[in-house]
Structure 1
Amino acid sequence: MKPFLILQLRPEPDASDNEYEAFLAKGGLRPEETRRIRLEREAIPADLDLADFAGVIVGGGPGCISDPDECKPPVEKKIEQEILALMPQITQQDIPFMGCCYGIGILAHHLGARVSKEAYFEPPGAVACTLTEAGRADPVMSGLPEQFNTLVGHKEAVQDLPPGCTHLLASAPCPFQMIRHGKNVYATQFHPEADGEVFAVRIEIYKHKGYFPPETAATLTEEVMAAEVDTAPLILRNFVERYRGN
């Protein structure tokens, strides 16, 4: 059985490890079913063949693809370049892909859509997402109710539906919460791997990164811990189950 390739973008070890554990737990994956690459400290091998993997899962991170290059730390520029270099093959060959938060920006940017901070910013917290008609018919959304809560936290967002994409999930604050390119390339603005405990870790680590006023960290932590967000991880589990046999 082929493993899933998990690409992580978080420079902070505690955040990266916590995210990886969340991918395993919420996706129903065992460590031996994955190949984990932390892009802040290692490059994607030149001989890496995506055909050797059941699918690709990309995590989030503090970087914004819409930031000017001169404002990006070297590690963020390196991570961005590594991920973008894979996107032509992923989209052209319709390789199973699940991009979480940062992943939707990478996919949309690669496809030529606008990703910016001009609208749809969301501080850390729970938002209600609603299935579109296409979302109701998508196999990765199987078993989901018409509306459910997800955890979000982002400074930039996709402003328009990218070319060749299908709109799957929407919310009032941010219309493009989940999209699909082709049949197998998925991306979410929210975090399907996260629960309140995961977000509490991120709030502490990123409280000085511009997502929210640092003095509100304790209140935000209480709110995410109390949020009912048990449904959203089914998306990640469905993705894994759909492609596990590839």
Structure 2
Amino acid sequence: MKLWVIKTGDAFADVIAEHGDFEHFFMSAMGPVADTHPELELAVHDARHDGEPPELAEGDGLVITGSHAMVSHAEAWSEALKPWLVDAWQRDLPMLGVCYGHQLMAAALGGESGYHPAGRESGTFRVEMTEAINGDALFGELPLQFAAQLTHAQSVLRPPACAAILGHNAHDPYQTLRYGPRQWSVQFHPEFTAPVMRSYLAHQRQALSEQGQDPERLIAGVTETPEATGLLARFARLVASGGATAS
């Protein structure tokens, strides 16, 4: 079985040079699971440059990365992913969308994504989960509040009818959605480490200042986010198990 990392963008050049690109963050978090599950193969598909999305076999799973692109701009490569995501959802394949992937999954399944009216959210913030996580295969063992790394200008503005709201915070009512027993998306970045988050905030100093925020305070407030980060290994284990639990 394959766990596909669907790459939808690149990090900043200096972040890539020091820490790696988006797909490397995911591979680093999920690689140890693949090392102990030889039946699980990690693979990367760059949706912008690698042509049609990969053909998915039964037992495969997929993660859609973040991007500096915007879902509402409806670029051709991004729009081409929508029917592919719907097909994977209908086949009940394990799916996890992250940031851009979160917004794209929601839009593909009938929701709406676009610019958040309150502007950008960047930094380490707490996400509050709803009681809907009880018994959830991915989130069920998490605390009802945990810290997560966030950087986004767009959000899910209206979730699809099929989605259950699992998590929210003061900025965004749809931080975490579940579309089926093995399909989720999150606005936050479980793949980001604290150093990567600080680098992103450094790039966004001017934009955040213009929005009335204090970038230095946000940088000082960055912490590691082990509960959020652990979701990626849990998801990989879920794919490897071929079942509905990540244990």
TM-aligned CA deviation for residue 8 of structure 1: 0.6
**Aligned counterpart for 1:57 among listed residues 56, 63, 66:** 63
Q: Are the structure 2 counterparts of residues 7 and 157 from structure 1 closer, same or farther at C-alpha, using a change threshold of 3 Å?
A: same
Shift of 1:212: 3.3
RMSD: 2.8
Give the match for residue 23 of structure 1. Answer: 26
1:155-194 aligned within 5 A: 155-194=153-192
Q: Which residue of 2 aligns with 1:35?
A: 43
Shift of 1:29: 4.4
- Using the size of structure 1 for normalisation, the TM-score is 0.81
Q: Secondary structure at the match of 1:138?
A: coil
Opposite residue 72 of structure 2, the aligned amino acid is S
Residues 60 and 102, structure 1, Cα contact 8 Å, conserved in 2: yes
User: What is the CA distance between 1:23 and its match in structure 2?
Assistant: 1.0
Kept after mapping to 2: 8 A contact 1:124/1:211? no
* Count of equivalent residues: 231
Q: TM-score, normalised by structure 2?
A: 0.81
List aligned pairs for 1:115-126, cutoff 5 A. Answer: 115-119=113-117, 121-126=119-124
Is 1:3 the counterpart of 2:2? The answer is yes
CA–CA distance in 2 between the matches of 1:91 and 1:188? 16
Match of 1:212 in 2: 208
Q: Measure how far apart 1:88 and its partner are.
A: 2.0
- How far did 1:118 drift? 4.3
The gaps in structure 2 that reach 5 residues or longer are 243-247
Offset of 1:223 from its aligned partner?
Answer: 3.5
Alignment match, 1:72:
none
Report SS of the residue matched to 2:72.
coil
8 Å contact 1:135–1:167 — kept in the other structure? no
CA distance in 1, matches of 2:11, 2:204: 13
SS of match in other structure, 1:241: helix
Structure 1 pair 5–79 and aligned structure 2 pair: CA distance change class (3 A): same
User: For residues 173 and 5 of structure 1, what CA distance do their matches in structure 2 show?
Assistant: 30
Deviations 1:149-178 (A, max 9, x none): 111111111123311111111112111111
**SS, match of residue 106 in structure 1:** helix
Confirm whether residue 235 of structure 1 aligns to residue 241 of structure 2. no
Deviation per CA, 1:23-54, whole angstroms, max 9, x where unpaired?
12323345882111222332136xx3211653
CA contact (8 A) 2:124 2:218 kept: no
Is 191-200 or 126-135 further displaced after alignment?
Answer: 191-200
Unaligned runs of 5+ in 1: 70-76
Is the alpha carbon distance of 1:217 and 1:127 closer, same or farther for their aligned partners in structure 2, counting shifts above 3 Å? closer
Matches of 1:29 and 1:37 in 2, distance apart? 19
Match of 2:137 in 1: 139
Please say if residues 176 and 184 of structure 2, whose CA atoms lie closer than 8 Å, have aligned partners that are also in contact: yes
> Does 1 or 2 have the higher relative contact order (CA < 8 Å, sep 6+)?
1
Cα displacement (A) at 1:242? 1.2
The answer on whether the counterparts of 2:11 and 2:68 sit within 8 Å (CA) in structure 1 is: no
Maintained 8 Å contact 2:3/2:239: no
Q: CA deviation at 1:98?
A: 0.6
Distance 1:183 1:113 in 2: 18
- Residue aligned with 2:23, SS: helix
Match runs of 1:83-162 below 5 Å: 83-119=81-117, 121-162=119-160
Paired residue secondary structure (2:226): coil
Secondary structure at the aligned position of 1:181 is classed as strand
